[in-house]
């Protein structure tokens, strides 16, 4: 009994020492704190964008009540809040699995909203079952975008790339196992990740959110989305997605607006 008590006492002391050292060397560092702040800021901006789309859709409630992308607002919010919480606590693989779900959901909901224009929500949910493959993103080719062919192809390829990278964390894979072992060797266990690892997951999440937002704005419609950009985002220079690769391209579609020309 004394032996076990000594073992547990030593383990507790070692863990306490490691936590203290980690806090001083990593967690309290400027790089790590900046990444935490960045995660919080772009997550909040994404949440506010989702809420803005949902709120503004009330102007044409009779129409948007039957949009899958609009009706999924709570689902998006749950995922974004969950992803942020997971990353803050050093749980990166589960966050990547949730990204996969968001990407697949957005692609399929947008396709259904585009292909079943004017149909009610019941017809659309049945269409999901009969016309959408499970666990596949190949249907992304059916999406219609507002971009020129070159940009549209680039966007669809990035969606497939993001989905593929996220899939590596859904089922046991060589990539996932090797990553886990490499991190363990470096001492990057749960709750002890490096600033570099936090930066990497932030880039992946932001990239996914940028693409998801463009699909949601496009599904919402150019006229309604233009109002949101002109009235909300143009006056908010700190909105993180001004720097999003595809949100920036989508925003340029509204440069013809008199409000921007003036």
Task: Give yes or no for residue 179 having a pLDDT over 90.
Answer: no
Give dist(CA 186, CA 32) in Å, integer: 17
Residue-wise pLDDT tens digits, 112-162: 999 999 899 999 999 998 988 887 888 999 999 999 999 999 999 999 999
Task: Give yes or no for residue 36 having a pLDDT over 80.
Answer: yes
Task: Give yes or no for residue 186 having a pLDDT over 70.
Answer: no
Residue-wise pLDDT tens digits, 204-246: 999 999 999 999 999 999 999 999 999 999 999 999 999 999 9
Helices (H), 57-148: 61-64, 68-71, 73-88, 92-115, 121-131
Token digits for 28?
């309290």
The CB density around residue 116, as the number of other CB atoms within 10 Å, is 17
Query: What pLDDT is stored for residue 94 in this prediction?
Result: 92
Query: What pLDDT is stored for residue 182 in this prediction?
Result: 65
Task: Give yes or no for residue 185 having a pLDDT over 90.
Answer: no
Query: What pLDDT is stored for residue 151 in this prediction?
Result: 96
Task: Give yes or no for residue 1 having a pLDDT over 70.
Answer: no
Query: What pLDDT is stored for residue 110 in this prediction?
Result: 96
- Percent of the chain with pLDDT strictly greater than 70: 86
171 DSSP 8-state letter:
S
Q: What integer best gives the mean pLDDT of the chain?
A: 88
The pTM assigned to this predicted structure is 0.90
How many helices (H) does the chain have, and how many strands (E)? 13, 0
Q: How confident is the model at residue 190 (pLDDT cuts 50, 70, 90)?
A: low
Matching residue, tokens 């942020």: 84
Give dist(CA 165, CA 97) in Å, integer: 10
């Amino acid at each position: 009994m004394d032996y076990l008590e000594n073992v547990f006492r030593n383990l507790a002391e070692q863990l306490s020492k490691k936590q203290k050292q980690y806090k001083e060397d990593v967690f309290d560092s400027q790089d790590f704190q900046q990444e935490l702040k960045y995660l919080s800021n772009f997550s909040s901006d994404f949440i506010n964008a989702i809420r803005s789309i949902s709120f503004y859709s009330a102007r044409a409630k009779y129409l948007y009540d039957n949009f899958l992308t609009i009706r999924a607002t709570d689902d998006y919010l749950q995922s974004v809040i969950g992803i942020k919480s997971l990353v803050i606590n050093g749980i990166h693989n589960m966050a990547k699995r949730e990204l996969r779900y968001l990407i697949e959901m957005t692609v399929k909901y947008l396709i259904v909203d585009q292909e079943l224009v004017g149909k009610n929500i019941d017809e659309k949910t049945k269409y999901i079952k009969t016309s959408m493959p499970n666990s596949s993103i190949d249907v992304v080719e059916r999406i219609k975008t507002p971009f020129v062919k070159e940009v549209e192809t680039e966007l669809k390829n990035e969606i497939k790339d993001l989905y593929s990278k996220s899939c590596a964390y859904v089922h046991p894979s060589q990539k996932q196992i090797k990553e886990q072992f490499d991190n363990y060797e470096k001492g990057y266990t749960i709750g002890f990740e490096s600033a570099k690892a936090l930066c990497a997951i932030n880039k992946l999440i932001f990239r996914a959110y940028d693409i998801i937002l463009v699909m949601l704005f496009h599904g919402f419609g150019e006229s309604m989305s233009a109002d949101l950009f002109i009235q909300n985002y143009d006056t908010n220079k700190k909105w993180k997605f001004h720097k999003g690769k595809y949100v920036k391209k989508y925003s340029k579609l509204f440069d013809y607006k008199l409000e921007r020309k003036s």
